[in-house]
Amino acid sequence: MFTIRKNNSLNKELKLLDVFAITTGATLSGGFFLLPGLAATEAGTKLVFAYLLVAIPLFPAVFSLVEIATAMPRSGGIYYFLDRSLGPRAGTIGGIGTWFILVLKSSFALIGMGAYLSLFFKEISIIPIAIIFATAIGVLNLISVKGSGKFQILLVTGLLTILFIFVTKGVLNINLEYFHSIFAGNISTIFATTGLVYISYAGITKVVSLSEEIKNPERNLPLGIFLGLLTSYVIYALGTFAIVGLVPISKLAGDLTPVATAANIILGNTGVIIVSIAAILAFISVANAGIMSASRYPFAMSRDHIMPHFFKRLSKIGIPFVSIIFTVLTIIFIVIFLDPMKIAELASTFQLIIFALVSFSVIIMRESRLDSYDPGYKSPFYPWMQIIGILSALFLVIEMGWLPIGFSAALFLISIIWFSIYAKNKVKRSGAIYHVFERLGKMRYSGLDTELREILKEKGLRKEDPFDEIVTRSLVIDINRRVEFEETAEKAAAWFSNFVSFSALQIKKEFLEGTKIGMTPVTHGIGLPHLRLKGLLQPELVLVRSIEGIHIIVNGPLTDHKNEEHLVKALFFLASPEDDSAQHLRILAQIAGKVDGDKFLDQWLVAKNDQELKETLLRDKRFLSIRIINNTPSAVLIGKQLKNSGFPNGCLVALINRDEETIIPEGDLVFQEMDKLTIIGNEDILKEIQKKLSL
| CATH number of domain containing 634 | 3.30.70.1450
pLDDT higher than threshold 90 for residue 213: no
Write down the pLDDT at residue 573.
Answer: 94
Give yes or no: residues 580 and 624 share one domain: no
The CATH number of the domain holding residue 585 is: 3.40.930.10
Chain centre distance of CA 414: 28
pLDDT digits (tens, 9 = 90+) for 576-602: 998 888 888 888 888 888 888 778 889
Give yes or no: residues 587 and 686 share one domain: no
Write down the pLDDT at residue 645.
Answer: 85
What's at 452, amino acid-wise? L
Nearest-10 crossing angle of helices 340-367, 384-399: 150
Residue 67 within a domain: yes
Strand partners for 545: 478, 570
pLDDT higher than threshold 90 for residue 399: no
Between 147-156, 158-167, 199-208, 340-349, the lowest mean confidence (pLDDT) is in 340-349
Residue 476 within a domain: yes
Of 679 and 190, the structure prediction assigns the larger pLDDT to 679
Residue 264 within a domain: yes
Give yes or no: residues 111 and 39 share one domain: yes
pLDDT band at 43 (very low <50, low <70, confident <90, very high): confident
Domain that residue 681 falls in: 620-692
Write down the pLDDT at residue 362.
Answer: 93
Taking the C-alpha atoms of residue 179 and residue 182, their distance in angstroms, rounded to an integer, is 5
Residue 430 within a domain: no
pLDDT band at 518 (very low <50, low <70, confident <90, very high): low
Residue 493 within a domain: yes
Could you give the 3-state DSSP secondary structure of residue 655?
Answer: strand
Write down the pLDDT at residue 1.
Answer: 42
Give yes or no: residues 173 and 42 share one domain: yes
Query: How many domains are contained in the chain?
Result: 3
Residue 448 within a domain: no
Write down the pLDDT at residue 3.
Answer: 47
Chain centre distance of CA 89: 22
pLDDT higher than threshold 80 for residue 685: yes
Give yes or no: residues 569 and 625 share one domain: no
Give yes or no: residues 118 and 207 share one domain: yes
Report the b/e string of 75-100 with b at 16+ CB within 10 A.
bbbbbbbbbbbbbbbbbbbbbbbbbb
pLDDT higher than threshold 80 for residue 459: no
Give yes or no: residues 289 and 251 share one domain: yes
Mean pLDDT for the stretch of residues 248-264: 89
Give yes or no: residues 605 and 635 share one domain: no
Give yes or no: residues 587 and 632 share one domain: no
Domain end, chosen from 614, 639, 659, is at 614
Mean pLDDT for the stretch of residues 68-79: 86
DSSP per-residue codes, 103-153:
HHHHHHHHHHHHHHHTTT-TT--HHHHHHHHHHHHHHHHHH-HHHHHHHHH
Write down the pLDDT at residue 493.
Answer: 94
Domain end, chosen from 423, 438, 471, is at 423
Residue 443 within a domain: no
Give yes or no: residues 255 and 384 share one domain: yes
Residue 449 within a domain: no
Nearest Cα neighbor of 528 from 597, 574, 596 is 574
What's at 227, amino acid-wise? L
What mean pLDDT value characterizes the chain?
85
pLDDT band at 340 (very low <50, low <70, confident <90, very high): low
pLDDT digits (tens, 9 = 90+) for 599-654: 888 999 999 999 999 999 987 788 888 899 988 888 889 999 988 888 888 888 88
Of 53 and 545, the structure prediction assigns the larger pLDDT to 545
Write down the pLDDT at residue 4.
Answer: 46
Taking the C-alpha atoms of residue 553 and residue 566, their distance in angstroms, rounded to an integer, is 6
Taking the C-alpha atoms of residue 683 and residue 619, their distance in angstroms, rounded to an integer, is 10
The CATH number of the domain holding residue 71 is: 1.20.1740.10
Write down the pLDDT at residue 28.
Answer: 80
Write down the pLDDT at residue 441.
Answer: 46
Give yes or no: residues 519 and 585 share one domain: yes
Domain end, chosen from 590, 614, 638, is at 614
Of 515 and 526, the structure prediction assigns the larger pLDDT to 526
pLDDT higher than threshold 70 for residue 542: yes
pLDDT higher than threshold 90 for residue 444: no
pLDDT digits (tens, 9 = 90+) for 270-319: 988 898 888 888 888 888 888 888 888 999 899 989 999 999 898 887 88
Q: Work out the percent of the chain whose per-residue pLDDT is above 70.
A: 92
pLDDT higher than threshold 70 for residue 9: no
- Whether the CB-CB separation of 30 and 283 falls below 8 Å is answered with yes
pLDDT digits (tens, 9 = 90+) for 347-398: 778 888 888 999 999 999 898 888 788 898 999 999 999 999 899 888 878 8
pLDDT higher than threshold 60 for residue 221: yes
What's at 61, amino acid-wise? A
Mean pLDDT for the stretch of residues 87-105: 89
Give yes or no: residues 83 and 118 share one domain: yes
Taking the C-alpha atoms of residue 170 and residue 267, their distance in angstroms, rounded to an integer, is 9
Q: Work out the percent of the chain whose per-residue pLDDT is above 90.
A: 30
